[in-house]
Chains A and B, each alone.
Chain A
Amino acid sequence: MSLLADIVTVVAVCAGALFFLAGTVGLLRLPDSLSRLHALTKADNLGLGLIVLGLLPQAGSVLAALKLVAVWGLVQLSGVTVAQVVAAALRRRDGPRP
């Protein structure tokens, strides 16, 4: 049982780290601001989601697990808002995209 939980943790956290890596590469390599924003939100969204999922079996108590899920939810909320605000600021500066 414990081995199974550890396998879930390693697989999910590694997959989450991969999404963060992909998001960072996208942030550095993609040509325009909106695309870079797109790459960044994927890292936040799926990367952190998978890492939280992987940490859940290690949480120890239901309360600790709920706290982890709450952290993920709050990062989702702020991440999506920041993406919208940055995109709106870009739109104001550059005008609507062709």
Chain B
Amino acid sequence: MSLIDILDIALALVVLAVAGWTIAARDSFAAAVGYVAYGLMLSLVWLRLSAPDVALTEAAIGSGVTGVLLMTAAVRLRRTSQSGADASLRTATRIAAALLCLVVTGALAAVILAPVDIVASLAPAAAGHLASTGLGNPVTAVLMAYRAFDTMLEKGVLIMAVIAVWSLADDRAWGGRAGPLSRGPADGALGLLTRLLPPIGIVVGIHIAWAGADQPGGAFQGGALLAAMALLVVMTGLVKAPAVASRWLRIVIVAGPATFILAGSLGFAIAAGFLAWPAGWAKPLILVVEAFMVLSIAATLPLLVIGPPQRPPAGRDTP
């Protein structure tokens, strides 16, 4: 056993230990923090498996954005119930949840550990047609060319999620802004970070999205970084959450999927059909669609964290 094997086994054990700690944590906020650590460890595992694209997504979405979502939820739950959500769960519910998790884990383990004779891999086919897409990153080619339909539907799911969050709003607050997430504009070190980091984060986010065509990266990872910057300025109170009635906000949310559908429909006229990229035009079309998708992802993810509108719209002058 080489040194690198020992490190890999240690990494796997750390992931399992952090996962166990997260499940065992009594406080829901502590569990959310554990989940973030778990996600970061898991992204190291993906790196060791030579999947940097998945590692970036795990770190940005799985650990980062989902972590903020869970922490915000934990803080809100703490505010509404003194005893915490755990106490209201009956024992039967807990046992049922544990059984369900065991069945899922067992089924996954059975599938992965089952002996296979032939590994059916589509990797040679994916790499073989890479040149026709004009892209250098096979993962982006799968997401945007071979399986473009799935990716388009994923963006639709994000919009559904925003609609679901907004529909929790009180009638009087409809069209207004989400409540403040902090006491007021942050000062001191946090205030400085809120002013220093967004310009850097926006450049890095756009870089990751742009580099995704040929290197690890892509619309989701870059969009998640932009979303993090938006969340930073909204959560520290530097910028108010946008009003849900705002027209520009809604345009930004649908811009990605709408461009996707429009560009895909072009395929009817000049290629084999819906979402079939015409020869020679694949890369420019994919880049245009990705650019708008980055915008939509950057707007959608923060809206899920910020939550439903809570303050009534201020007269008719809502921006």
Cβ of B197 < 8 Å from any Cβ of A? Answer: yes
Interfacial residues of chain A within 62-78, with CB under 8 A of chain B in the complex: 74, 77-78
Q: Which among B189, B190, B192, B200 has the greatest number of chain A C-beta atoms within 10 A? A: B189
Interfacial residues of chain B within 182-227, with CB under 8 A of chain A in the complex: 188-190, 192-193, 196-197, 200
A-B CB contacts (within 8 Å), total count:
18
Please state if B189 and A84 are interface contacts (CB–CB under 8 Å).
yes
Q: Number of B interface residues, CB 8 Å?
A: 8
Cβ of A88 < 8 Å from any Cβ of B? Answer: yes
Please state if A77 and B190 are interface contacts (CB–CB under 8 Å).
no
- A88 and B190 CA atoms in complex are apart in Å by 10
Query: Nearest chain A CB to B78's CB is how many angstroms away?
Result: 14
Interface size classification for chain A:
under 10
7 further contact pairs, Cβ within 8 A, besides A81-B190, A84-B190: A77-B196, A78-B193, A81-B192, A81-B193, A84-B189, A85-B189, A88-B188
Which of B188, B196, B200 has a CB less than 8 Å from the CB of A84? B188
Taking Cβ atoms with an 8 Å cutoff, the residues of A that contact B are 74, 77-78, 80-81, 83-85, 88
Please state if B188 and A77 are interface contacts (CB–CB under 8 Å).
no
Residues of chain B within 8 A (CB-CB) of A74 are 200
Interfacial residues of chain B within 154-195, with CB under 8 A of chain A in the complex: 188-190, 192-193
Closest to A88 in B: B188
- A83 and B192 CA atoms in complex are apart in Å by 14
Please name 14 pairs of A and B residues whose Cβ atoms are closer than 8 Å in the assembled complex, sorted by A. Answer: A74-B200, A77-B193, A77-B196, A77-B197, A78-B197, A80-B189, A81-B189, A81-B190, A81-B192, A83-B189, A84-B189, A84-B190, A85-B189, A85-B190
Query: How does the 8 Å CB contact mask read for B290-319 relative to A, with 1 for contact and 0 for none?
Result: 000000000000000000000000000000
Closest to B191 in A: A81
